[in-house]
Every structure is written in structure tokens, then in C-alpha cells.
Amino acid sequence: MYKRTIYQELEKWSAKADRKPLILRGARQVGKTTIVADFAKNYGTFLSLNLELKADRDLFEQDYSIGDLISAIHFRLNKPIQNAGTILLFIDEIQSCPKAASMLRYFFEERNDIHVIAAGSLLETLIDKHISFPVGRVEYLFMHPMSFSEYLLAANEHEAHAVLRKIPCPDFAHQTLLELFHQYTLIGGMPEAVTAFLNKKDILACNAVYENLFISFMDDVEKYASNKTMAQVIRHAIAHAPLSSGDRIHFHGFGNSNYKSREMGEALRTLEKAMLLQLVYPTTQVSMPAETDHKKSPRLQFLDIGMINHAAGLQKYYFQLNDLNTIYRGHIIESVVGQELLAMHSHIQKPLKFWVRGKAQSTAEVDYVLAHEKYLIPIEVKSGETGTLKSLMQFMEDANHDIAIRLYAGKIKTDELKTPSERKFKLLSLPYYLVSQIPAYLQTHF
């Protein structure tokens, strides 16, 4: 049982007086059911239903009142109703029963004393299509693959985890943390793959896990494709999306195909709903609010870096590298940084953005922008010297603050730089493994 950061968010949700039923969203196999089972240890009674089972699903098909439904659930699970102790009801695979989704409002309005969590492996693709949740009567949390910080705890690297969180991170830990980050970037954050590697310390042990994950994703296609033709397009998208992670893409001809923009766009957006990937759109603004520009081409962010490595056959190269920016045109390190940034946001569905200059014919592009208080902070993922950061310089020309971030393989340092118009700003260079700590470092500046 791995310690996951989202556990703390579940504790906050449980403690709220105005708590609503919680919809736990995330891709298949990221650990949703496991974390709920672990969290249930805090409760006097744990009621767990799987609505892929007809007997469990039938409970919601009888048009019971909320009181009779609760009694029927206790009877079905052979768990007597107790007057003392809190109750957690977990409704798994809720996408199998739209009536169960509509009943959640009554748990909020009439039986708020019962804590309700719902989840589903295909839930994302069916929201707003075949299933809808009562507006204003539920809340959401988004669960992602394990972050680097979570990986350190899973690997029993408790000292490394503690040092990672020190501000500033001490220089003596740099090489060890960089090597562990390389290891994490190789394995990724899918819990089953992490377990396989940690048990045998052999990357080959993960390959069967990755293969099974891809097969399960392919098997799911029939369940959310609108027709057989679209199923073929989605399968093509699944096969090629890992290889395009970190790339700005065009829907037309994606993955060297003959598919048109409309059908490939539908396929990729379906996979985005399944949280297997994210289409990251740019903003042209340098201050908040940073609206995304959906007319410009998006960058593709695939679910997990370990799966990307497996699909691209890159694992053998890791053991010869000092700097991850040198592998696969720099896209591997950009993808793992994106994965780390996503893991920081359990309440936001699409937190990632990058920046492009609004002027015509401009190629200026900053890898990521991060909202921090009232500011928009540019983040470049580079190994080069500070003098090569042309796009970052252009961003800082018009920014309403004086701090930019570079992620690289070196140690923590701060440089005083000037834009071409002589505007001064600070460049905070952080090692790759400190992505999750960026907000803490920014806090010391503002």
C-alpha cells in the first residue's frame, strides 16, 4: 500500500461539514480503488459496491427512497446498520448505472452523514455522454500516476524524500536525487509497474505490466467508440500517442495516418476524456488570467512516462546518460515535467499550459507556464546555457514580475539576466527533480 498525496485531499474532503459526494476521476490502473480501500480504514463501516455486478447495480434500479436504498445496501453486503461510527460508501464502476449517478444528490441533500465516493474505469468517456452527475451536488478529485515524491516513499527512500522538501535542497543530495529521478523517469508512475520494478530491481519486470496496460486500453476502445470506424481511429491514436508525447501535433494525418482532422480530433479528445492523454493548448498572454488559444496546435501529453519509454524502446539508453534532456529530442524530460506538474493539481482538470508569442511568424515558445498567486511564471526545460533562452527572454519583456524558472540537470542557482531591452529579471535554475517544489521556491521570492 503506497502513500499517495491525494490521501490528504480525501482527509480534507471527509472533514468538511458541507461535504458532497466525491467523484474520483482518473485513468484506468492509476490506483483509485486501492486508495479508497486504504482510506476506508478511517471509518467504522465500509460499504463497497461494484456496479458491473448485476446484484449491486439492481439496488439502484428499484427506485427506492434514499432510506430504503441505504437499508438495501446494508442487507446486500450483510453489514448491519450501526448507530455509532461513520460510514463510507464506495460506488465503483458507477458509469454502469446512470440511475446511481442521479441518486447522489439525495445522499447530499438527505443523508450527508454518509460519506460517498464514486469512481469508474471508463467513467471519463461517458461523462456528459451517457452519464451525468447532479450539478452542484457532487465534487471532483483527479488522480494521476505516482509522482516522483510518491515514488521515493514507495522505494523506501525516506531520507531522499525528506531532503527533497527542504528549501533550499542541499547540494550534497544532488547526485543521489538526480539518479533517483532518472530511475523514476525510466519506470514511470503506474503503481503496478512501480511494484514490479521495486520487487525485482529489473526494468524487464515492468515490460509485461506495460504490455498489459496497453492491451487493456485497446480492449476498452469498443466500449466508448461511437462505431467500428471510430474504434480503428482510436486504436491508431493509442498506438501513436506515446511516441508523440511532448510534440505539438496536428490532428490531420496524426501518426503518419490518412485520417482526417475531424475523426482524429474526435479520437484524441475521447482519449483525453479517458485521461490517457492531455491536449495541452498554448496561451499568448504573459499575465493572469492566461486564456488558452484553441486555434493554435496543441502539445500532446501522454499518461505516463514509463509507458512512453516502453512504447519508444528507449529504456536501454537511460543507463548511459547524465542529462535526460539529451534523449528523444528533449521530449522525455518535457513529458516527465508535465507529468509532475499534473500531479500537483488534484482539483483542476486541465492545469497545463505553455506559451507562444502572439505575433505572426513568431516561433517563440516557452515549455510551460505556471499560475502562482496573481502571476504567470514561465518554465523552460533546458540543458543549455542561460544565453540560449531566447523565448524566455521574450516572455519576460512584458511580464508583470521578475522571476523565470529553468529546469536542468545542474544544481540550484540564481542568475541576474537582462532582456534585449535591458529589463532585469532573475532566472532560478532548479534540477529536474524539484519540479514539485516550484511553488515553495516561488513563495520565497514573492
Buried b (16+ CB within 10 A) or exposed e, 155-180: bebeebbebbeeeebeeebbeebbeb
Shared domain check, 325 and 209? yes
Q: Which domain holds residue 366?
A: 204-445
166 lies in some domain: no
Domain-terminating residue out of 100, 120, 142? 142
Mean pLDDT of all residues in 93-103: 91
In a domain, 124, yes or no: yes
All 3 cell numbers of residue 299?
Answer: 502539445
Read off the pLDDT band of 348 (50, 70, 90): confident
Contact residues for 336 (Cβ-Cβ < 8 A; gap 6+): 184, 185, 305, 324, 432
Residue 378 lies in a domain: yes
The whole-number average pLDDT for the span 5-29 is 95
What is the pLDDT at residue 126? 64
- Residue 386 confidence (pLDDT): 57
Is the same domain home to 291 and 431? yes
What is the percent of the chain with per-residue pLDDT over 70, rounded to a whole number? 93
**Which of 149-158, 215-224, 328-337 ranks highest by mean pLDDT?**
149-158
The reply to whether 281 and 371 lie within a common domain is: yes
Taken in order 415, 420, 422, 424, is the CA torsion positive or negative?
Answer: negative
Residue with cell 475521447: 270
CATH number of the domain that residue 63 is part of: 3.40.50.300
Same domain, 115 and 243: no
Give domain status of residue 97, yes or no: yes
Q: What is the pLDDT, as a whole number, of residue 151?
A: 97
- Say yes or no: 280 and 377 in one domain: yes
Between CA 185 and CA 333 the distance in angstroms is: 8
C-alpha cell at 204: 524487464
130 shares its domain with 218:
no
Q: What is the rounded distance in angstroms from the CA atom of residue 19 to the CA atom of residue 5?
A: 20
The lowest-confidence range among 11-20, 324-333, 400-409 is: 324-333
Whether 150 has a pLDDT exceeding 60, the answer reads yes
Grid cell, residue 201, equals 530491481
Same domain as 208, residue 134:
no
One domain for residues 234 and 383: yes
How far apart are the C-alpha atoms of 322 and 161, rounded to whole Å?
Answer: 21
Answer yes or no: is 428 within a domain.
yes
Average pLDDT across the chain, whole number: 90
- Measured CA to CA, the distance from residue 265 to residue 261 in angstroms comes to 6
Q: Select from 273, 267, 29, 278 the least CA-distant residue to 127.
A: 273
Q: Does residue 323 lie within any of the structural domains? A: yes
- At 328, is the pLDDT very low, low, confident or very high (cuts 50, 70, 90)? very low
Per-residue pLDDT at 124 exceeds 80: no
Per-residue confidence band for 269, with pLDDT thresholds at 50, 70 and 90: very high
pLDDT above 70: residue 436: yes
Instruction: Give the pLDDT of residue 315.
Output: 61
Strand partners for 404: 427
| Residue 70 predicted with pLDDT over 80 | yes
Q: With a cut of 60, say whether residue 4 has pLDDT above it.
A: yes
**Average pLDDT value for residue range 380-385:** 73
Note whether 223 and 84 are same-domain residues.
no
Q: How sure is the predictor about 330, in pLDDT bands with cuts at 50, 70 and 90?
A: low
From 121, 142, 163, the end of a domain falls on 142
pLDDT of residue 128: 62
pTM, rounded to two decimals:
0.92
Domain boundary residue among 104, 124, 142? 142
Which comes out higher in pLDDT, residue 322 or 247? 247
**120 and 253 inside one domain:** no
137 and 217 housed in the same domain = no
Q: Are residues 133 and 227 in the same domain?
A: no
Q: What is the pLDDT of residues 392-405, one digit of tens each?
A: 999 999 999 999 99
pLDDT at residue 129, as a whole number: 62
**Residue 182 maps to a domain:** no
Asked if residue 169 belongs to a domain, the reply is no
pLDDT tens-digit readout, 199-209: 988 888 899 99
Residue range 388-415: average pLDDT? 93
The distance in angstroms from the start CA to the end CA of the chain is: 38
User: How many Å apart are CA 446 and CA 441, to the nearest integer?
Assistant: 9
Please give the full DSSP string across 285-332, using - where no structure is assigned.
-SSSS--B-TTSPPEEEES-HHHHHHHHT-GGGGGG-S-GGGSGGGHH
Q: Which three cell numbers stand for residue 283?
A: 496561451
- pLDDT attached to residue 7: 96
* Cα within 13 Å of Cα(10), Cβ side: 26
Q: Number of folded domains in the chain?
A: 2
CA–CA distance from 333 to each of 245, 318, 380, 427 (Å)? Answer: 10, 12, 11, 19
Residue 338: is its pLDDT beyond 80? Answer: yes
Mean pLDDT of 126-149: 86
Q: How confident is the model at residue 419 (pLDDT cuts 50, 70, 90)?
A: very high
User: For the residues 152-164, what does the mean pLDDT come to?
Assistant: 97
Q: Are 72 and 81 in contact (CB under 8 A)?
A: no
